[in-house]
């Protein structure tokens, strides 16, 4: 089962709290998840903490599943950071700003655990 | 033990200036009144992954080198580059920003700030339509209606609502929260939305539609509004418009939901027009919720030094500005620069993948107190003092008020400003010898 979702990113207090500790596990925990509402998680057959593969036309990334019932159906949220940026849009639409919100994404369950920060960054040398 | 009062928190654009810091043996052991972000900034810094020595990448690995060797290597990169991207400079002092702009001019670089991935579109909107604004003090004392549009201060600026907005008590708002109507417009029910008097949920990417409908209602053109706009019923739009018209003083705080969603700078342009319309009926202002503590200062310094607030290209010898062409992500995704210097910001964490793939191909110089994703892409790394903790300097709050940050503890590290001055001198020396 794949969920067609609209992906946005943004700040959270925990992402902000570990902004200057990006090599630490706390930052990894604060940024390497994808939030959907519980109904969408049920549709995908996953529980919180399971792994999700988020794919867009710009890339893919594995993330932990997290529930947030403040999200409307089909809206996925990833905290700003290296994991979100693996799949967000680089298109600046003629005004300089990349597409950090409103990127069409496909979300499905995966067996791949999220990469820690340094491993994720090493992908850019490949 | 020293207790320092009225210290400024150099984390987010709220620049809280009422922090009490306890210092024992040059270590901050306690901090009062800071939020979770500020607390981790002050007390957490002794636990974080500090860059301890200058480093150069050799055979794929960053290895410790002397400061002089790193300055030599970085200056060579800058002098040999046809067009360098200089990026960041928003978690540092205005004094360092001024020197960074001087280095960019000296090396014919393109220099951009974190506004490129934050409120850059707001600057474009202000240039198109103006930015009717006020200080947070005026808002605290006068605003009886507050809209938080596409922003989530409960997470991003945790003390904002208590110090300056929803919960603050001012001269004409002595009952604090009871004297104010708090409205949140967002695409998901955030923690800020949960404590609002009214939450307006809109379809993601349709902010411009809602602004336009609100303007139609306020300007007496209800007839052109369809039954539903942006997922909001016409009835709710008319009610919201009426609330704004009847307010004594409205402040629209707006964030990334406005600047990063579809229509980008046109959304801010729309909000500015809405504020002008409202000022025909009552008093209204708009304030961008700035992220990095001195991104506002970057805009100020860059404007007085070059005439433009960001995305300034010195390649032609004189400042040239055209976001969309000269933004940091524009040039990286096009492959239009051949080196980069990144300081007081983390492109590695906050730029999309195409930009990072290109950064991995070109020489990158980093100046930062802490190891972060940018370090993973860097070839020359300078450790720096933490400005606002280990070095004093000037920063601008999100409402354009300048504040002087104190030095709280001593450090062995050079400041961003000192490192940039050393780079300027070395670049000039190399250019003279060439």
A85 contacts in B (CB within 8 Å)? 349-353, 356
- First-last CA distance in chain A: 30
pLDDT at A17 over 70: yes
Q: Is B110 on the interface with A (CB under 8 A)?
A: no
| B145, B151, B156, B157 alpha-carbon torsion, rounded to 10° | -20
Residue with tokens 């339509």: B129
Q: What's the pLDDT score for residue B434?
A: 60
Asked whether the beta carbons of residue A16 and residue B152 sit closer than 8 angstroms, the reply is no
Q: In chain B, how long is the greatest CA-to-CA distance?
A: 72
Q: Is B385 on the interface with A (CB under 8 A)?
A: no
Chain A nearest-CA distance from B39, in A, is 8
pLDDT at B45 over 90: no
> How does residue B316 score in pLDDT terms, banded at 50, 70 and 90?
very high
Per residue in A74-124, pLDDT tens? 999 999 999 999 999 999 999 999 999 999 999 999 999 999 999 999 999
Query: What's the mean pLDDT in B72-85?
Result: 98
Asked whether the beta carbons of residue B330 and residue A90 sit closer than 8 angstroms, the reply is no
Asked whether the beta carbons of residue A77 and residue B11 sit closer than 8 angstroms, the reply is no
pLDDT at B237 over 90: yes
Query: What's the mean pLDDT in B306-327?
Result: 97
**CB contact set of B374 (below 8 Å; sequence gap of 6+):** B342, B346, B347, B348, B349, B364, B366, B368
Helix (H, G, I), strand (E, B) or coil at B344: coil
- Residue B260 near residue B116 (C-beta atoms within 8 A): no
Query: How far apart, in whole angstroms, are the C-alpha atoms of residue B297 and residue B303?
Result: 10
Query: What's the mean pLDDT in B303-314?
Result: 98
How remote is the C-alpha of B41 from its chain's centroid?
Answer: 16
Query: How far apart, in whole angstroms, are the C-alpha atoms of residue B210 and residue B223?
Result: 15
CA distances from B297 to B96, B228, B379 (A): 11, 40, 28
Asked whether the beta carbons of residue B324 and residue A81 sit closer than 8 angstroms, the reply is no
Q: Is B160 on the interface with A (CB under 8 A)?
A: no
> How does residue B44 score in pLDDT terms, banded at 50, 70 and 90?
confident
Q: DSSP letter for B25, please.
A: T
> Which of B58, B73, B77, B60 minimizes the C-alpha distance to B338?
B77
- Residue A62 near residue A112 (C-beta atoms within 8 A): yes
- Closest CB to B204 among A11, A89, A101: A101
Residue with tokens 């002098």: B79
B204 contacts in A (CB within 8 Å)? 6, 8, 75, 101-102
Query: How far apart, in whole angstroms, are the C-alpha atoms of residue B207 and residue B76?
Result: 47
Asked whether the beta carbons of residue B333 and residue A92 sit closer than 8 angstroms, the reply is yes
Q: Tell me the H-state helices in B24-172.
A: 36-42, 67-80, 94-107, 120-129, 136-142, 153-156, 160-163
| A71, A76, A81, A85 alpha-carbon torsion, rounded to 10° | -150
- Report which of residues B360 and B46 the model is more confident about: B360
Q: Is B336 on the interface with A (CB under 8 A)?
A: no
Which two three-digit tokens encode residue A68? Answer: 């947030």
Per residue in A52-81, pLDDT tens? 999 999 999 999 999 999 999 999 999 999
How, if at all, do strands B393-396 and B402-405 pair?
antiparallel
Helix (H, G, I), strand (E, B) or coil at A22: coil
How, if at all, do strands A59-67 and A33-36 pair?
parallel
Per residue in B408-427, pLDDT tens? 999 999 999 999 999 999 99
Query: What's the mean pLDDT in B124-149?
Result: 97
- Closest CB to A89 among B44, B352, B359: B352
- Report which of residues B49 and B346 the model is more confident about: B346
Per residue in B362-400, pLDDT tens? 999 999 999 999 999 999 999 999 999 999 999 999 999
Strands (DSSP E) contained in chain A are 3-10, 33-36, 51-56, 59-67, 75-79, 101-109
Strands (DSSP E) contained in B212-327 are 228-229, 232-233, 249-254, 283-288, 312-313, 320-321
Q: What's the pLDDT score for residue B170?
A: 96
Q: What's the pLDDT score for residue B48?
A: 83
pLDDT at B105 over 80: yes
- Closest CB to A82 among B37, B156, B348: B348
For B307-337, b/e burial (b = at least 16 CB within 10 A) is: ebbbbbbbbeeebbbebbbbbbbbbbbeebb
CA distances from B337 to A22, B83, B235, B334, B345 (A): 27, 5, 51, 8, 18
Asked whether the beta carbons of residue A22 and residue B346 sit closer than 8 angstroms, the reply is yes
Burial of B434 (0-12, 13-18, 19+ CB in 10 A): exposed
ipTM confidence: 0.98
Which two three-digit tokens encode residue B97? Answer: 């920003």
- Residue A67 near residue A48 (C-beta atoms within 8 A): yes
Per residue in B146-165, pLDDT tens? 999 999 999 999 999 999 99
- Closest CB to A86 among B11, B156, B353: B353
B110 contacts in A (CB within 8 Å)? none
How does the average pLDDT of chain A come out, rounded? Answer: 97
How many CB contacts within 8 angstroms connect chain A with chain B? 185
Whole-prediction pTM: 0.97
**Best B62, B187, B189 residue to mutate vs chain A (most A CBs within 10 Å):** B187
- Rounded percentage of chain B residues whose pLDDT exceeds 90: 97
* Residue of chain B whose alpha carbon sits nearest to that of A16: B37
> Which of A87, B42, B26, B268 minimizes the C-alpha distance to B276?
B268
**CB contact set of B276 (below 8 Å; sequence gap of 6+):** B129, B130, B132
Q: What's the pLDDT score for residue A126?
A: 85
Chain B nearest-CA distance from A62, in A, is 15
Query: How far apart, in whole angstroms, are the C-alpha atoms of residue B37 and residue B47?
Result: 14
Query: How far apart, in whole angstroms, are the C-alpha atoms of residue B102 and residue B94?
Result: 12
Per residue in B184-227, pLDDT tens? 999 999 999 999 999 999 999 999 999 999 999 999 999 999 99
If contacts are CB pairs under 8 Å, which of residues 50-109 in chain B contact chain A?
none
Stretch (H or E) spanning B192: helix B191-194
> How does residue B47 score in pLDDT terms, banded at 50, 70 and 90?
confident
Q: Is B45 on the interface with A (CB under 8 A)?
A: yes
């Amino acid at each position: 089962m794949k969920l067609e979702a609209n992906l946005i990113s943004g700040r959270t207090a925990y992402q902000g709290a570990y902004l200057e500790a990006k090599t630490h596990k706390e930052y990894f925990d604060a940024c390497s998840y994808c939030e959907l509402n519980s109904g969408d998680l049920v549709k995908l057959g996953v529980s919180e903490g399971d792994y999700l593969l988020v794919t867009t036309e710009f890339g893919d990334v594995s993330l932990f599943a997290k529930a947030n019932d403040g999200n409307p159906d089909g809206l996925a949220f990833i905290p700003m950071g290296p994991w979100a940026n693996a799949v967000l849009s680089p298109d600046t639409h003629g005004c300089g700003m990349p597409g950090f919100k409103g990127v069409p994404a496909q979300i499905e369950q995966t067996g791949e655990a999220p990469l820690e920060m340094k491993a994720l960054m090493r992908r850019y040398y490949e | 033990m020293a207790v320092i009062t009225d210290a400024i928190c150099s984390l987010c654009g709220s620049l809280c200036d009422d922090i009490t810091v306890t210092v024992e043996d040059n270590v901050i052991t306690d901090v009062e009144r800071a939020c979770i972000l500020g607390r981790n900034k002050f007390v957490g810094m002794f636990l974080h992954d500090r860059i301890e020595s200058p480093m150069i990448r050799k055979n794929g690995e960053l290895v410790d080198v002397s400061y002089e060797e790193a300055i030599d290597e970085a200056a060579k990169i800058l002098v040999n580059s046809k067009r360098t991207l200089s990026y960041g400079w928003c978690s540092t002092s205005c004094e360092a920003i001024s020197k960074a702009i001087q280095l960019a001019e000296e090396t014919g670089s393109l220099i951009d700030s974190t506004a490129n991935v934050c409120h850059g579109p707001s600057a474009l909107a202000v240039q198109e339509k103006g930015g009717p604004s006020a200080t947070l003090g005026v808002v605290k004392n006068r605003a009886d209606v507050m809209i938080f549009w596409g922003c989530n201060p409960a997470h991003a600026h945790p003390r904002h609502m208590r110090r300056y907005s929803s919960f603050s008590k001012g001269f004409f708002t002595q009952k604090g929260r009871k004297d104010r109507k708090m409205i949140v417009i967002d695409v998901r029910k955030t923690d800020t939305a949960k404590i609002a008097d009214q939450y307006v949920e809109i379809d993601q990417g349709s902010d411009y539609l809602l602004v336009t409908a609100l303007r139609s209602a306020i300007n007496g053109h209800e007839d052109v509004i369809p039954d539903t706009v942006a997922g909001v019923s016409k009835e709710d739009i008319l009610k919201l418009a009426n609330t704004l018209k009847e307010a004594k003083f409205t402040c629209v705080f707006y964030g990334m939901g406005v600047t990063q969603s579809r229509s980008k700078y046109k959304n801010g342009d729309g909000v500015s027009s809405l504020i002008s319309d409202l000022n025909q009926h009552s008093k209204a202002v708009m304030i961008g919720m700035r992220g990095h503590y001195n991104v506002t200062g970057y805009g100020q310094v860059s404007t007085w030094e070059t005439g433009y607030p960001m995305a300034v290209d010195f390649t032609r010898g004189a400042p040239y500005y055209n976001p969309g062409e000269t933004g940091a992500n524009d040039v990286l995704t096009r492959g239009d620069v051949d080196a980069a210097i990144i300081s007081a910001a983390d492109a590695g964490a906050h730029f999309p993948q195409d930009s990072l793939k290109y950064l991995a191909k070109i020489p990158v110089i980093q100046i930062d107190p802490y190891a972060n994703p940018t370090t993973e892409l860097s070839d020359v790394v300078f450790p720096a003092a933490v400005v606002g903790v280990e070095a004093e300097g000037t920063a601008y709050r999100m409402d354009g008020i300048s504040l002087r940050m104190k030095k709280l503890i001593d450090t062995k590290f050079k400041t961003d400003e000192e490192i940039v001055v050393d780079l300027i001198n070395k670049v000039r020396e190399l250019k003279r010898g060439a």
